[in-house]
Structure 1
Amino acid sequence: MTERGRAALHTTPDRLEIGPSAMSWTGDKLVIDVDEWGGLPNVGRLRGQIVVEPEALTSVELPLTEDGAHVWRPFAPVSRIKVDLEGRGQQWSGHGYFDSNFGTRALEADFSYWTWGRFPAKDGATCVYDADRRDGTRLGAAFRFGADGSAATIEAPPRVRFRRSLWAVRRETRADAGFTPKQALNMLDAPFYSRSAVTTRLFGEEVTGVHEALDLNRFRSPLLKPMLAVRVPRRRK
Structure 2
Amino acid sequence: MGFIGSVFSPWYRWSGRRDPANHCCINVATYGPGGRFTMTDRGRAALRQTPDTLTVGPSRMHWTGRQLVIEIDEVGALPMVTPVRGRIVLTPSGVTDVEVALTPDGRHIWRPFAPTGRIEVDLTQGHRWQGHGYFDANFGTKALEADFRSWTWGRYPLRDGAACFYDAIRADGSRLALGLHVTPEGVAREITPPAPARMARTLWGIRRDTPADPGFQPRQVMAMLEAPFYSRSLVETRLGGEVTTGVHEALDLRRFRSPLLMPMLAVRVPRRAGWQFADAV
TM range (shorter): over 0.9
| 2:136 aligned residue | 99
What corresponds to 2:168 in structure 1? 131
* Distance in 1 (alpha carbons) for counterparts of 2:163 and 2:42: 34
Residue 174 in structure 1 maps to residue 207 in structure 2: no
Paired positions, count: 236
Runs of 4+ in 1 over 6 A off after TM superposition: none
- Give the structure 2 partner of residue 57 of structure 1: 95
By how many angstroms is 1:198 displaced?
A: 0.6
Deviations 1:43-98 (A, max 9, x none): 3111111111011111101111110011111011111111100122x111111111
Deviation at 1:40, TM superposition (A): 3.1
One-letter amino acid of the counterpart of residue 187, structure 2: S
| Aligned-residue offset at 1:167 | 1.1
After TM superposition, the structure 1 stretch with the greater mean CA deviation from structure 2, 34-43 or 60-69, is: 34-43
More strand by percentage: 1
Match of 2:238 in 1: 201
Q: Which stretch of the first structure deviates more once superposed, 7-16 or 131-140?
A: 7-16
Question: Aligned residue for 1:110?
Answer: 147
Identity of counterpart residues, as a percentage? 61
Mark the runs of 5 or more structure 2 residues left unpaired by the alignment: 1-38, 275-281
With normalisation by structure 1, the TM-score equals 0.97
Amino acid at match of 1:193: Y
TM-score w.r.t. the length of structure 2 is 0.82
Q: CA deviation at 1:13?
A: 1.9
> How well do the aligned residues superpose, as a CA RMSD in angstroms?
1.0
1:228 paired to 2:254:
no
- Aligned equivalents of 2:210 and 2:271: distance in 1? 33
- 1:143 matches 2:161: no
Task: Measure the CA separation in 1 of the matches of 2:80 and 2:222.
Answer: 17
2:68 corresponds to: 30
Q: Deviations over 1:12-64 (max 9, x none)?
A: 22211100101111110000001111123433111111111011111101111
Q: Structure 1, unaligned stretches of length 5 or more?
A: none
**1-structure distance, mates of 2:190, 2:263:** 39
1:226 offset after TM fit, Å? 2.5
